Amino acid sequence: MLKNRRSVHKSVLPGFGLTMGFTVVYLSLIVLIPLAALFLKATGMGWTEYWQLMTTQRVLESFRVTFSTSLCAALANAVFGFLVAWVLVRYSFPGKRFIDAMVDLPFALPTAASGITLSMLYSQHGWIGRWFDFRITYSQLGIFIALTFIGLPFVVRAMQPALTDIERELEEAAASLGATRWQTFWKVLFPGLLPALLTGFTMAFARAIGEYGSVIFIAGNSEIAPKLIIIKLEANEYTAATAIAVTMLVVSFFLLLVINLLQLWGTKNWNRT
């Protein structure tokens, strides 16, 4: 009888030791060893030389453009991605499946193709850019548009399951108690959606920080950090390129850690309520 009970609880996958071994080897080859090599390469530069490189106007400006534009794009995606997900989940209309499929277009398109298309559309003679009196392509605004384009699906796909799981009875109960639409959304629905919204925001922000292909064609003279790394590599300045990459990695990890802590805090507050 004991044997039968043990056989029932037997895992389909191999035991912990074997699966853990595969996990460690896979992560080591894909993540840990490349990151270790990156840090080791950066140590070839002395602290004084590293500080001089990081405090140059060109590097500081590339960091400013990269992180500020990525943050603005992620915030815009958090707002408009939420609205797109709300419409796709809550309403039925002709062409809904087509629009839902179009959300994943940035995933399917090569990043270079996205950059070329956006730069043509928003150029001074493009279909969209011709209607504006100011330049969009080859500016920081063009970078913002490119980063918004590639980050939107992360927020939409993170929000859709959370919106689907919300029971309509909660809204009906709030309405029966005299709550306005805004009060129902802000105090009843939004706390439960906040963890998913932060997740989508985090993924969009992380994606934007490291984006290169779609930005290079629309950025012009505005240098983002990934572009500066490529420039250093082409100039055979491998140590300098590695140092910039390590700095981006550390700053990005810190920012993502803060956002994840906020997400955890929002989840705990929702569970308490």
Tokens standing for 16?
């912990």
Report residue 167's pLDDT band, with 50, 70 and 90 as the boundaries.
confident
Residue type, 72: C
Q: What is the pLDDT of residue 72?
A: 95
As a whole-number percent, the residues of the chain with pLDDT over 70 amount to 91
Q: ∠ CA 97-199-32 to the nearest 5 degrees?
A: 115
Phi, psi of 54, deg, nearest 5: -70, -25
| pLDDT single digits (tens) 177-218 | 777 878 888 887 888 888 889 889 988 998 898 888 888 888
pLDDT at 14 > cutoff 70? no
pTM score, whole prediction:
0.82
Question: Could you tell me the CATH superfamily of domain 56-272?
Answer: MetI-like (1.10.3720.10)
Spell out the alpha helix ranges (H) of the chain: 2-8, 16-27, 33-42, 47-54, 57-90, 96-103, 105-108, 111-121, 140-165, 168-176, 181-183, 190-209, 213-219, 225-234, 238-272
Residue with structure tokens 């550390």?
250
Assign 269 a pLDDT band (cuts: 50, 70, 90). Answer: low
Residue ranges per domain, the chain? Answer: 17-45, 56-272
Contacts of 254 (CB under 8 A, 6+ apart): none
Query: Which tokens go with 33?
Result: 């060893």
Neighbours of 105 (CB within 10 A): 12
| Per-residue pLDDT tens digits for 38-76 | 788 777 777 888 888 888 999 999 999 999 999 999 999
Predicted pLDDT of residue 2: 46
Q: What are 80-104's pLDDT values in tens digits?
A: 999 999 999 988 889 899 999 999 9
Cα separation, 52 vs 12, whole angstroms: 55
Q: Is 6 exposed, middle or buried (0-12, 13-18, 19+ CB in 10 A)?
A: exposed
